[in-house]
Amino acid sequence: MKGSRQPAFAALGGRSPEKLLEHIPTPCYILDETQLRRNGEILAGIRNDTGCGILLAQKAFSHYDLYPLLSEYLDGTEASGLYEARLGAEEMPEKEVHVFSAAYRADEFPALLRYADHIVFNSPHQLARFGKAAKTAGKSIGLRINPECSTQSGHAIYDPCATGSRLGVTRAVWDSEMTDELISLLDGLHFHTLCEQDADALEITLSAVEDRFGDILPDMKWLNMGGGHHITRPDYDIPRLLRCIRQIQKQFGTKVYLEPGEACALNAGYLATRVLDTVQNGGIHTAILDTSAACHMPDVLEMPYRPPLYQEGEGALWRLGGMTCLAGDVIGDYRFDRPPETGDLLLFGDMAIYTACKNNTFNGMPLPSIYLLQKDGRLRLLKQFGYRDFRNRLGS
C-alpha cells in the first residue's frame, strides 16, 4: 500500500480487508471506531487548549449510533434544519444544538424551538420574522455574515463567498438593513467559508471578517467559524488554528465555536464492494462493481473527487464503475498490479462522510448495510436495508 494512501486505511492496523470481510455481504459501509476516537481526541485537545466549542456538523456524518462515542469529545451538534436539530437533541442529549438554515419555515419553527439552543439566521428578513420568538424562547441568536473572501479553488459549488451567493449578510446589506432593534436581538455572528482547508485559509478569512465586521464583534458573545476545517488531516496546521482561536477570543472577548463535519469522521470509514464483471471499450478496461458512485458515494460525482482505494497498485489502468444505467456512474481510474476479476473484493477509504447521509436508491439499488469495526477488531452490524426501504420511500 502506497504511503500517500496510508491515512485512509491506517486504522485497519495492517489487517487484511479480504480476511476481515470474508463473510460480509457487499456492498457495505464500515465505520471505524478507532479512527473516530483518534479524531475525537484531536478535537478535544483543541477544546481543552483554547476553551472553544466544537460541534459535529451532521450534514457530513449522521450515524447516531456513534453519537455517544463522539459526545465524549464534542460540545454538541450543528444542524441544517428541523430534522437534524431533533436528531442532535435526541441522540446527543445534554449537549448543545446549533442550527443554521438559509431560510426557516413558519410551520416548522415552533418545533425547532423545542430542540435548538442556538439559532442562526441568514438574512435580516428572517431575523425580523422569527428572531423575537426565538429570543422569547430563551435561544441564543446569531446572524450569518459573508466576509466576501474566497479562499478556495476548484470547488465553486461549495464557495459561499462567490459573487451572488445567497448565504450570509455582506457588510453593505448589514449597513442598509440591520436596524438597532434587529442588532439588539443578536448574541453572535456566524461565518462558514471553508471547504477541506487548512488554518492558513482561516487566518485569511479572519482578517476579512475583522476588516468588515470588527466594529461589531466586541458586542457579540460568540463567533461561530463554521466548518470546512480539515483539522484531523495528518498535515493540518493545528498550532496556527490555536493562534487564530486565541487571538479572536482575546481581541473581542467572544467565545469561538467550530462546527467541523469531515474532521469528526475523516478517514473513519470504508465502502467494501466486489467486482461483478469486466468490460472493454475503446481501449479502456472497466470493472463493474456491486456499488455505485451515483447511489452510494454521490460526493464522488458532486464534488467531484477520487476516493482512495486499498488495492491500488502501479500496473495497468482500470476504470471502476457502478452497476446503474447512468453512463457517468464512474468512481474513477485506478492502477492494479493484476487485472481485477469477477468476485474480487475492493475497499474504498474515507467513506464515513457524505456517503450514507446522502445515498439513494436510484435504479432500485439496495442501500449498503452499515457495520462498525470495533476496537477489538470485530465487526458489528448496525443497520441492514431491504426492499421495503426502497419501496416505502415513495408510497404508503
Amino acid at 157: I
Q: Are 74 and 40 in contact (CB under 8 A)?
A: yes
**pLDDT digit of tens for each residue in the chain (396 aa)?**
333 346 889 888 788 899 999 999 999 999 999 999 999 999 999 999 999 999 999 999 999 999 999 999 999 999 999 999 999 999 999 999 999 999 999 999 999 999 999 999 999 999 999 999 999 999 999 999 999 999 987 677 889 999 999 999 999 999 999 999 999 999 999 999 999 999 999 999 999 999 999 999 999 999 999 999 999 999 999 999 999 999 999 999 999 999 999 999 999 999 999 999 999 999 999 999 999 999 999 999 998 889 999 999 999 999 999 999 999 999 999 999 999 999 999 999 999 999 999 999 999 999 999 999 999 999 999 999 999 999 999 888
User: Which strand (E) or helix (H) includes residue 269?
Assistant: strand 269-281
Task: Give pLDDT, residue 104.
Answer: 98
In the chain, the domains with their CATH numbers are: 3-31+268-391 (2.40.37.10), 51-265 (3.20.20.10)
Task: Give pLDDT, residue 10.
Answer: 84
Task: Give pLDDT, residue 4.
Answer: 36
Q: How far apart are CA 354 and CA 357, in angstroms?
A: 6
Distances (CA, A) of 290 to 79, 259, 317, 367: 32, 34, 20, 11
Task: Give pLDDT, residue 182.
Answer: 98
Task: Give pLDDT, residue 6.
Answer: 64
Give the chain's radius of gyration (CA, Å). 22
> Which of the 8 DSSP states describes residue 229?
B
Closest CA to 77 of 97, 91, 63, 100: 97
Task: Give pLDDT, residue 334.
Answer: 98
Q: Are 53 and 32 in contact (CB under 8 A)?
A: no
